[in-house]
Amino acid sequence: MAQIGNYALLLALALSAYSFVAGIFAIITSGEMSERVGETARRAGIVVFVCVLLAAVALVTAAFRNDFSIAYIFHHSNRDLPAPYKFAVLWSGQEGSLLFWSLLLAGYGFVLRLRYKTDPRLFAYASVVMAGVQIFFLLLVNIAANPFGLIDGPTRTDGSGLNALLQYPEMVIHPPMLYLGYVGFTVPFAFALGALIMKYPGEKWIRITRRWTMVTWAFLTCGVFLGSHWAYYVLGWGGYWGWDPVENASLMPWLVGTAFLHSVMMQEKRGMLKVWNMWLVFGTFWLAILGTFLTRSGIISSVHAFAQSSIGTWFAYFLALTFAVFVFFFVKNKDHLRSEHRLESLISRESSFLFNNLLFLLLTLDVLWGTWFPKISELVQGNKVTVGAPFYNRVAVPVALFLLLLTALGPLLAWRKTSFESLKRNFKWPMILSVAVALFVMFTPQSWGSIFGMRPWKDISYFYSLMTIFLSSLVAFTVASEFYRGGRVISEKTGQGMFASIVQLTHRNTRRYGGYIVHIGVVLVMIGFSGSAFNQEKEMEMGYGDKMDIGSYQLVCRSYTQDDNANQFTEWAILDVYQNGNKIGSMTPQRIVYHASNQPSTKPDIRSNFKEDLYLVYEGQNDKGQPVIKAHVNPMVIWIWIGAWVMIVGTGLGLVESAPAPVTVRAPRVLGRATPAAPVVTGD
Amino acid sequence: MAMMCVVVFTLSGAGDPASRFTEVGHQLMCVCGCGQILLECNHVGCPSSDGMRNELMAAIGRGDSDSLVEQTFVQKYGPTVLAAPTTAGFDRAAWIMPFVAMVLGFGIVVLVVRAWKNRPEPAIADGLHPSAGAELEQFREQARKETDL
């Protein structure tokens, strides 16, 4: 297996290099020879995918065959590892995950090269850029982090096992999603750089890459939320986001990518922000690579960075090289990126996009600064400092709230110019209803639930939560009003019911209304976040029959026991849960020790409903052998996961082709009488 | 939003004595290397967090101020025990930089908007009279409705 894998990777590197060099030759020359060479470059790029796929299959096969002569398999697998996790071995360590990255990149390149007929010349440029990035990752897996390296000394009979924290079903899908997101941003970057180099006329490249960008963004969104869900369900500290450098690394390209998805509309519709969009595409790609650099170089300490090595230098050079190449072509061809229109008014959709981009970028800078500050502090004053949640909560939360305000305002602003009157008219009811919601949440008795009775003057976190609820309501009501107004117009024209009209409206402009659904998803996520101000927690040693009260729950320890199998040793407590005197169920938080790695981990038990989560952690045992139980009541958490799904659904809807709208064309007026309007369906 | 800034500024220093343990405990890190906030550290057999929590409880019981508690922890465990940079020395840069970036960012956007607004309008062919005022607004509203843009 090791030999097959090694040869496949070497061949892939050689073919990538050929695809890159031959691709450049075909671009800079002309004639029949040039075309033929270009075609071989394209085909070589396609075969790269086959070779890297072969290498990945070889590695997974080695995991299934327990081939512990391969060092990577020895360190990340063992005989009794359940089958699904043998697949996860591919991305659970440094070398394997770089191979997986190469595979995904080759996969994207494969699809790109198959679809070259859309615009052969632009695709040829993009293909060369993709090949350049591919060479870097193949150099890594061939030289610096070879997954097929053999173990020193005699072959072991069993492996060290997979990291305990990774033995969770979500881990089988979280990294692939995240990587699909990271790697996928190479495609819009490749098109952008290609368009910049060849001075591509018009905005066609933006339209070509729109779907790529949206799909990639959806993968990254999925990856980020799956990671968050995994942290909540596996790490057992009761939270879902710890502002860890590795979490931040995934957030930064997501933020810049989101900014790009917004500002790209200005280029498509108004021919503006061309320079800005070029930098946003580059920034997203660059931050995705920077995130990988952070995770793997060990330059910044993180609880997640389980794959550290000396490959940081390679990434540093690659980051510098891509920056230099991009800046060179930008400076050379920036005249090509002149804006076509002027801004007519500050109260317009254009300026809302500008401020939206500014806020996304500020958030990114805050996160980047916070992530790097410990290192900067060490360089400047000789000692490290910690930059944790309190910093980000103070710095990033206000910016996020401003962003939420813009999310509410943006859809109500027209392109070019909006009058105050129009803004007032459209904003009146959403504002009244949102204020009513905020007042309701503020003055309702706390006995109604954890999030009610938010007195903002009591604590800054309550204030932020109330603002979040208020602004989220504002976004939701403005989106609802947009659907209602559009639906009403169609309903009046066609005589259909409101629901059918709204469905038709959405179908006519899936991108716009899909976007609104994504905004609703964001609102739900933000409402979920707002509940964190009301989290409660309690810890107790619990013998038989001992009781713990938390929130509206009472926990009674019924029993505690343990179990042992080939893969793991487990101990757990059985707790009966009562609410208002009625038993509502039993919960079993666990602690697991995996034999192969001898690593302990907790497996919390979570009882979730729309109002709150009851989250129990088995922390360990006291001297008497009784379990130590930590209980959390976390309000509104489920809305984060629902919101994430809604965001994905909205993105999916945005990818659906819009239906052509019937356009009413008036026939010429005959003297003395009006001719009825004739509906004509156009393809526009 | 202006009100928001005022409230944030006013409440930032507020503290309920009853919840001080939770509040200060969330400003400190566990020093075992898990990288978690002191009150959130839950890993099995942590050698540090229990002792640190007891020290924190004792300090609050003695009536030590928040800053004194933090100083005591810094002296014992080093500056990384604080979950966020302080507002002294070079640490101040951590807090100032986001603010500077925000001011600069808004300044740049305002400049860009002004520059774009001041660009000359495209020339209009002779004999054409562009719509303006209420009529223009009406056309725009109509176009927006009909094109869904």
Q: What is the pLDDT of residue A683?
A: 33
In B, residues 32-51, which contact A (CB 8 Å cutoff)?
34-37, 39-45
Q: What is the mean pLDDT of residues A567-587?
A: 89
Between these two residues, A9 and A295, which has the higher pLDDT value?
A9
Contact between B101 and A242 using a beta-carbon 8 Å cutoff: no
Q: What global pTM score does this model have?
A: 0.85
Q: Which residues of A touch B101 (CB under 8 A)?
A: 362, 365-366, 369
For an interface test with A, give the residue of B20, B26, B31, B40 to mutate (most A CBs within 10 A). B40
Tokens describing residue A666: 């008036």
In A, residues 418-437, which contact B (CB 8 Å cutoff)?
419, 422
A180/B66 Cα distance (integer angstroms): 45
Tokens describing residue A518: 């994504």
Contact between B8 and A460 using a beta-carbon 8 Å cutoff: yes
Which range in A119-128, B1-10, B118-127 is most confidently predicted, on average pLDDT?
Answer: A119-128
Q: What is the pLDDT of residue A342?
A: 66
In A, residues 600-629, which contact B (CB 8 Å cutoff)?
600-602, 617, 619-620
Which residue of chain A is at minimal alpha-carbon distance from B99? A395
pLDDT at B7 over 50: no
Contact between A401 and B137 using a beta-carbon 8 Å cutoff: no
CA distances (Å), A505 to each of A479, A496, A516, in order?
13, 12, 12
Band the pLDDT of B149: cuts 50, 70, 90: very low
Tokens describing residue A132: 């350049």
Contact A313, A253 (CB under 8 A): no
Contact between B43 and A351 using a beta-carbon 8 Å cutoff: no
DSSP per-residue letters across chain B: -HHHHHHHHHHTT---GGGHHHHHHTSBB-SSSS--BGGG---TT-SSHHHHHHHHHHHHHHT--HHHHHHHHHHHH-GGGBSS--SSGGGHHHHHHHHHHHHHHHHHHHHHHHHHHTSPPPP--TT-----HHHHHHHHHHHHHHHT-
Q: Which residues of A touch B37 (CB under 8 A)?
A: 242, 388-389
A381 shares contact with chain B (CB less than 8 Å): yes
Tokens describing residue A525: 């996520």
Contact between A460 and B40 using a beta-carbon 8 Å cutoff: no
In A, residues 281-320, which contact B (CB 8 Å cutoff)?
301-303
Which residue of chain A is at minimal alpha-carbon distance from B146? A663
* Alpha helix ranges (H) inside A170-311: 174-184, 186-197, 204-230, 245-270, 274-297
Q: What is the pLDDT of residue B64?
A: 84
Which residue of chain B is at minimal alpha-carbon distance from A493? B146
pLDDT at A161 over 50: yes
Band the pLDDT of A292: cuts 50, 70, 90: confident
CA distances (Å), B96 to each of A533, B71, B90, in order?
26, 22, 10
Q: What is the mean pLDDT of residues A150-168?
A: 77
For an interface test with A, give the residue of B1, B11, B103 to mutate (most A CBs within 10 A). B11
pLDDT at A255 over 90: yes
Contact between A419 and B89 using a beta-carbon 8 Å cutoff: no
Q: What is the pLDDT of residue A497?
A: 87
Angle at A237 between CA A235 and CA A239, to 5 degrees: 95
Band the pLDDT of B13: cuts 50, 70, 90: very low
Contact between B7 and A402 using a beta-carbon 8 Å cutoff: no
pLDDT at A169 over 90: no
* Distance from the B137 Cα atom to the nearest Cα atom in chain A, whole angstroms: 8
The predicted-structure confidence for A626-674, as pLDDT tens digits, reads as follows 888 889 999 989 999 999 999 999 999 998 887 765 555 454 554 444 4
Contact A589, A600 (CB under 8 A): no
A164: helix, strand or coil:
helix
Between these two residues, B129 and A419, which has the higher pLDDT value?
A419
Band the pLDDT of A237: cuts 50, 70, 90: confident
Contact B57, A539 (CB under 8 A): no
The predicted-structure confidence for A27-61, as pLDDT tens digits, reads as follows 888 888 888 998 999 999 999 999 999 999 999 99
For an interface test with A, give the residue of B10, B32, B37, B42 to mutate (most A CBs within 10 A). B42
Give the CA-trace dihedral at A439, A526, A539, A444, to 10 degrees: 10
The predicted-structure confidence for B21-44, as pLDDT tens digits, reads as follows 888 888 888 887 777 888 877 665
Q: What is the pLDDT of residue A285?
A: 93
Contact between A269 and B149 using a beta-carbon 8 Å cutoff: yes
Q: What is the pLDDT of residue A449?
A: 64
Q: Write the residue in A236, A380, A459 that is nearest to B42 by C-beta.
A: A236
Locus of tokens 């000359």: B120
Q: What is the mean pLDDT of residues A117-142?
A: 91
For an interface test with B, give the residue of A376, A395, A463 to mutate (most B CBs within 10 A). A395
Contact between A362 and B81 using a beta-carbon 8 Å cutoff: no
In A, residues 656-675, which contact B (CB 8 Å cutoff)?
661
pLDDT at A297 over 80: no
Q: Which residues of B touch A371 (CB under 8 A)?
A: none
Q: Write the residue in B4, B94, B105 that is nearest to A467 by C-beta.
A: B4
Between these two residues, A496 and A102, which has the higher pLDDT value?
A102
Give A677's Cβ-side CA count (13 Å radius): 9
pLDDT at A330 over 80: yes
Q: Write the residue in A416, A460, A661 that is nearest to B12 by C-beta.
A: A460
Contact between A459 and B90 using a beta-carbon 8 Å cutoff: no
Indicate the range of A321-325, A331-335, B102-106 predicted with least confidence.
A331-335
Q: Which residues of B touch A405 (CB under 8 A)?
A: 1
Contact between A237 and B35 using a beta-carbon 8 Å cutoff: no
CA distances (Å), B143 to each of A375, A511, B114, B147, in order?
54, 18, 26, 6
Beta strands, E only, A551-661: 553-564, 568-579, 582-587, 590-594, 599-603, 605-608, 612-621, 627-635
Which residue of chain A is at minimal alpha-carbon distance from B1? A402
A340/A460 Cα distance (integer angstroms): 45
Mean pLDDT across chain A: 85
* Distance from the B58 Cα atom to the nearest Cα atom in chain A, whole angstroms: 18
pLDDT at A190 over 50: yes
Contact between B91 and A394 using a beta-carbon 8 Å cutoff: no
ipTM associated with this complex: 0.77
* Distance from the A464 Cα atom to the nearest Cα atom in chain B, whole angstroms: 8
Radius of gyration of chain B from its Cα atoms, rounded to whole angstroms:
28
Contact between B7 and A463 using a beta-carbon 8 Å cutoff: yes
Band the pLDDT of A252: cuts 50, 70, 90: very high
Q: Which residues of A touch B43 (CB under 8 A)?
A: 600, 602
Beta strands, E only, A447-552: 536-541, 547-550
Q: What is the pLDDT of residue A626?
A: 86
A316/A252 Cα distance (integer angstroms): 18
Band the pLDDT of A339: cuts 50, 70, 90: low
The predicted-structure confidence for B97-146, as pLDDT tens digits, reads as follows 999 999 999 888 888 877 777 766 655 555 556 566 666 667 666 666 55
pLDDT at B62 over 50: yes
Q: What is the pLDDT of residue A677?
A: 43
For an interface test with A, give the residue of B10, B22, B32, B43 to mutate (most A CBs within 10 A). B43
Classify residue B78 as left (phi > 0), alpha (psi -120 to 50) or beta.
left
Contact between A619 and B26 using a beta-carbon 8 Å cutoff: no
Contact between A391 and B34 using a beta-carbon 8 Å cutoff: no
Q: What is the pLDDT of residue B23?
A: 82
Q: What is the pLDDT of residue B125?
A: 57
Which residues does residue A568 pair with via DSSP β-bridges, in sequence order? A594
Q: What is the pLDDT of residue A170?
A: 77
Phi, then psi, of A623 in degrees rounded to 5: -60, -30
B133 shares contact with chain A (CB less than 8 Å): no
Q: What is the mean pLDDT of residues A384-410?
A: 89
Which residues does residue A630 pair with via DSSP β-bridges, in sequence order? A539, A617
The predicted-structure confidence for A442-478, as pLDDT tens digits, reads as follows 887 776 666 667 777 777 778 888 899 999 999 999 9
Q: How many CB pairs under 8 A join A and B?
A: 165
Q: Which residues of A touch B149 (CB under 8 A)?
A: 269, 415, 512
Q: Which residues of A touch B54 (CB under 8 A)?
A: none
Contact between A460 and B26 using a beta-carbon 8 Å cutoff: no
Q: What is the pLDDT of residue B43?
A: 64
* Distance from the B34 Cα atom to the nearest Cα atom in chain A, whole angstroms: 6
B138 shares contact with chain A (CB less than 8 Å): no
In B, residues 65-104, which contact A (CB 8 Å cutoff)?
78-86, 89-91, 93-95, 97-98, 101-102
Q: What is the mean pLDDT of residues A69-93?
A: 85
